[in-house]
Amino acid sequence: MPPPPSAASRDEPHIRESVVGAFAVPETAAGPVVAGSAAEAALPEGVVADPGVQGIAADPGVQGIAADPGVRSAVAEPAVREPVAAGSAAPGPGRTERVVRERGDACPGALRLHAADDGFLARVRIPAGLLDARQARLLALAADRFGDGRLDLTSRGNVQLRGLADGCGSELAALLDGAGLLPAPGHERVRNIVATPLSAPGDRLRPAVRPWALELDRLLCANARVTALSGRFLFAFDDGRGDVAALGPDVTVLGRPGRRALVRLGPAADAVEVAGTDAPRAALLAAEYFLDAADAAGTRAWRVRELPAEHALDAGEFAGRLAAAGMAAERVAEVAWPYAAPPLPGFAGAGAGAGAGEGVGAGADAGTGVASGSAGAGGPLCVLVPLGRLTSGQLRALADAAVRRGSAELLMTPWRSVVLHAGPGSGRESGPASAPAFATGSGPGSGRGPASGSGPRPGRPGDDAAVADGLARAGLVVAAGSAWQSVTACTGQPGCAKSLADVRADAAAVAEAARGPLPVHWSGCERRCGHPQGTAWVDVVATAAGYALSVHGRERPAVGRDGLAAALADARHTDDFRSSAESESDAVQK
Q: Is the pLDDT of residue 498 over 70?
A: yes
* pLDDT given for residue 203 in this prediction: 84
Other CB atoms within a 10 A radius of the CB of residue 487 amount to 27
End-to-end CA distance of the chain: 48
- Among the residue ranges 267-276, 398-407, 565-574, the one predicted with the least confidence is 565-574
Q: Give the total number of structural domains in the chain.
A: 1
Of 278-282, 482-486, 492-496, give the range with the top mean pLDDT: 278-282
Q: 63 and 93 in contact (C-beta within 8 Å)? A: no
| Local confidence band at 9 (pLDDT 50, 70, 90 cut-offs) | very low
Domain span including residue 307: 199-332
Q: Is the pLDDT of residue 577 over 70?
A: no
Q: Is residue 219 part of a domain?
A: yes
Q: Is residue 208 part of a domain?
A: yes
Q: Is residue 223 part of a domain?
A: yes
DSSP for 66-108?
TTSTTS--SSPPPPEEEEPPTTSPPSSTT--EEE--SS-----
| Local confidence band at 502 (pLDDT 50, 70, 90 cut-offs) | confident
Q: 59 and 50 in contact (C-beta within 8 Å)? A: no
Q: Is the pLDDT of residue 25 over 50?
A: no
* pLDDT given for residue 54 in this prediction: 25
* pLDDT given for residue 348 in this prediction: 86
Instruction: List pLDDT tens digits, range 274-333.
Output: 999 999 999 999 999 999 999 999 999 999 999 999 999 999 999 999 999 999 999 999
Q: What is the mean pLDDT of residues 425-442?
A: 33
Q: Is residue 275 part of a domain?
A: yes
Higher pLDDT pick, 253 / 257: 253
Q: 155 and 412 in contact (C-beta within 8 Å)? A: no
* pLDDT given for residue 487 in this prediction: 86
* pLDDT given for residue 394 in this prediction: 98
DSSP for 417-465?
EEEE--S--SS----TTTS--B---SSTTTT-SB-SS-------GGGHH
Q: Is residue 233 part of a domain?
A: yes
Instruction: List pLDDT tens digits, range 186-243.
Output: 999 999 999 999 999 878 889 999 999 999 999 999 999 999 999 999 999 999 999 9
Q: What is the mean pLDDT of residues 523-545?
A: 84
* pLDDT given for residue 504 in this prediction: 85
Q: Is the pLDDT of residue 433 over 80?
A: no
Q: Is residue 282 part of a domain?
A: yes
Cis ω on the peptide bond leading into residue 183 (within 30° of 0)? Answer: no
Torsion angle of alpha carbons 583, 585, 588, 590, nearest 10°? -70
Q: 291 and 303 in contact (C-beta within 8 Å)? A: no
The DSSP 8-state label assigned to residue 518 in this structure reads S
Q: Is 373 left (phi over 0), alpha (psi -120 to 50) or beta?
A: left
The amino acid occupying position 44 is P
Q: Is residue 253 part of a domain?
A: yes
Q: Is residue 242 part of a domain?
A: yes
- Say how far apart CA 588 and CA 557 lie, in whole Å: 28
Which element (helix H / strand E) includes 218?
helix 210-221
Nearest Cα neighbor of 174 from 390, 374, 20 is 20
